[in-house]
Structure 1
Amino acid sequence: MLQLAPTPLPSPAAGRRPRPSSACICCSSVRALEEAKRVVLVRHGQSTWNAEGRIQGSSDASVLTPKGEAQAETCRQMLASDSFDACFTSPLARSRRTAEIIWQGRGRGRGDGLIPDPDLREIDLYSFQGLLKREGRERYGPLYRQWQKNAAEFSIDGHYPVQELWDRARSCWERILAHRGKSVLVVAHNAVNQALVATSLGLGAEHFRILLQSNCGASVLDFTPRAGGGPPTVCLNRLNQTPNSPVAGGSSAGRKTSKRIILACQGATQSSSESSPQPSPAWSWLAIGMKTGETNASLILVMYTVNCPLLWVPD
């Protein structure tokens, strides 16, 4: 079993707002689960502002493009065999429409069974929202560079957007895990889905942009109760699953990235088949790797496990 420990936090420098705690959401703030729960996170399809290269943030001025609608339909087909008891969704139009497409045939009518949650809106970027990215660079200069280079410490208009986002993600987990359903779909946005994955594994805001979510990419988290009560174990079963190869060339989540995490799942081997009558590839993580822009290698192996999912077991 691969166990992750919370990232230790440095002492805040004088005059600097301390980062929020990176403790796993499965701590004292979340009650123990009575039964196992699966949560599937999906990012919305391509929006008009995605296509324009405009900074969206929590603005609700963009809608799905025809490509975004097609991506949502592909995601619906990809998840067709999955059973969901409820669907939490961001109230923003681009996510709401994506959720409606994926949810087709599951409720009694359009939108039936969808649970809007305002904390699932995209990251609040205040004065940046609505600007083309080149306009942000030209108008804000050093401040925009800080957003690009050190997002966890970035502040604008008196706010720390990424730190606020991590707080919202923890709040969302309270409601998602309290839902009585055993399998819950969440349709939201790139940044907030990153924060949901990170906070479930006890990762702090410094991991922003490492867990990028592509348009209509799906990530799966499994929560399992612990014997005797206490916080559940958390298994990252899938990360940003899309119909495309995760090591293919091009950008990630609509932007260039110098580093990203890739989880590769191995198939059954002879030895694993002998020890497990029904091996499941989805539960057999082979590697966690980082793809970098400075190397021709598709995958740099940094961890190796056999027939073991990525698990977070809180203390």
Structure 2
Amino acid sequence: MKRIFIVRHGRTEWNLESRFQGANGDSPLLESSKKDCEDLAVFLDKFDFAAIYTSPIRRARVTAELTLSHTKKYGKAPIVDDEDFREVGFGDWEGLTRTQVKTAYPELFDALTHRRDDPRLLAFGIEKFTAARKRFKAGIIHRLQTVSDGQNILIFSHGSISQLGIKALTGNEHLTSLKNTSTSIIQTSDDQHFDIAAYNEAAYLENVDSKGSTTLI
């Protein structure tokens, strides 16, 4: 059995302001996220990782570097950038608030929030969700080929792409959104069929939103 640990980056200024923050938008981590990374480090130290990857977007890489700097095992471990784990691109809407987009484009906002491909979204430079799903899934399968049975991979990524990618891997289309600094664990015995061992795990955080999954595995 191989396991893939997928971490969503820490909460950022744009997350706090409910702004679209995709592949081409970015903002700094909140000060409170630094403590969350310390809490995450304690959790991750319970496991062994054969390889560690991150989206190259700064908020994900900073989360990876900060978290691993607080671990006992992985302070000097290499972190490899992987474009397949980059966030979905939200085109011209990056930096806009949800309220701004919902007010100006209510139908398209609904399509976006339900992750439905719509030709009109492409006009704004928004990445096709079906393509994003395939990208993340392909990245996972590619990286699994580099490790042996019984080993784990750790990935620092983003909310939308991780949710879409896990849906693509497992066939579970009912997954909810992911909390910042949460961990989801996917497992496979043949690199083709995937099960969810944990989703949106966040009980290790000292200050965790109690809504949704918080159960420690």
**TM-score band, normalised by shorter chain:** 0.7 to 0.9
Alpha-carbon RMSD: 2.7
Query: Deviation of residue 249 (structure 1)?
Result: 7.7
Equivalent position SS for 2:3: strand
Task: In structure 2, give the amino acid aligned to 1:114.
Answer: I
The 8 Å contact of residues 216 and 242 in structure 1, kept in 2 or not, is answered as: yes
8 Å CA contact retained: 2:170, 2:193: no
In structure 1, what residue type is equivalent to 2:93? Answer: F
Tell me what 1:27 maps to: none
Q: Which amino acid aligns with 1:221?
A: I
Q: Given the alignment, which residue of 235, 245, 257 partners 2:195?
A: 235
Tell me by how many angstroms 1:73 deviates.
1.4
Tell me the CA shift for residue 90 of structure 1. 0.5
Q: Return closer, same or farther for 1:56/1:40 CA change in 2, 3 Å cut-off.
A: same
**Structure 1 residues 186 and 157, CA gap change in structure 2 (3 angstroms):** same
Select the structure that is richer in helix: 2
Q: Which residue of structure 1 lines up, in the alignment, with residue 163 of structure 2?
A: 194
| AA at the equivalent of 1:239 | Y
User: Percent identity, aligned pairs only?
Assistant: 21
Q: Whose radius of gyration is greater, 1 or 2?
A: 1
Cα distance in 2, alignment partners of residues 145 and 198 from structure 1: 19
CA shift for structure 1 position 239? 1.0
Query: Structure 1 pair 195/145, CA: closer, same or farther in 2 (3 Å)?
Result: closer
Partner of 1:161: 128
Distance 1:53 1:233, change over 3 A: closer
Give the TM-score normalised by structure 1: 0.59
Which residue of structure 2 lines up, in the alignment, with residue 152 of structure 1?
116
What SS class does the counterpart of residue 116 from structure 2 fall into?
Answer: helix
Structure 2 counterpart of 1:171: 138
CA contact (8 A) 2:122 2:128 kept: no
- Counterpart CA distance in 2 for 1:202 and 1:183 is 21
2:26 pairs with 1:61? yes
CA distance 1:80–1:244, change in 2 (3 Å): closer
* 2:68/2:74 contact within 8 Å kept: yes
- Listed as ranges, the gaps of 5+ residues in structure 2 are none
In structure 1, stretches of 5+ residues that fail to align are: 1-35, 226-230, 253-261, 266-281, 283-315
For 1:154, give the aligned amino acid. Answer: D
State the one-letter code of the partner of 1:168.
R
Check the 8 A contact 2:10/2:180 in 1, yes or no.
yes
Task: Tell me what 2:180 maps to.
Answer: 215
The residue that corresponds to 2:97 in the other structure is 132
TM-score (normalizing by structure 2): 0.83
Equivalent pair of 1:194/1:211 in contact (CA under 8 Å): yes
Give yes or no for contact 1:45–1:71 (8 Å, CA) kept in 2. yes
Corresponding residue pairs, total: 208
Give how far 1:40 is off: 0.6
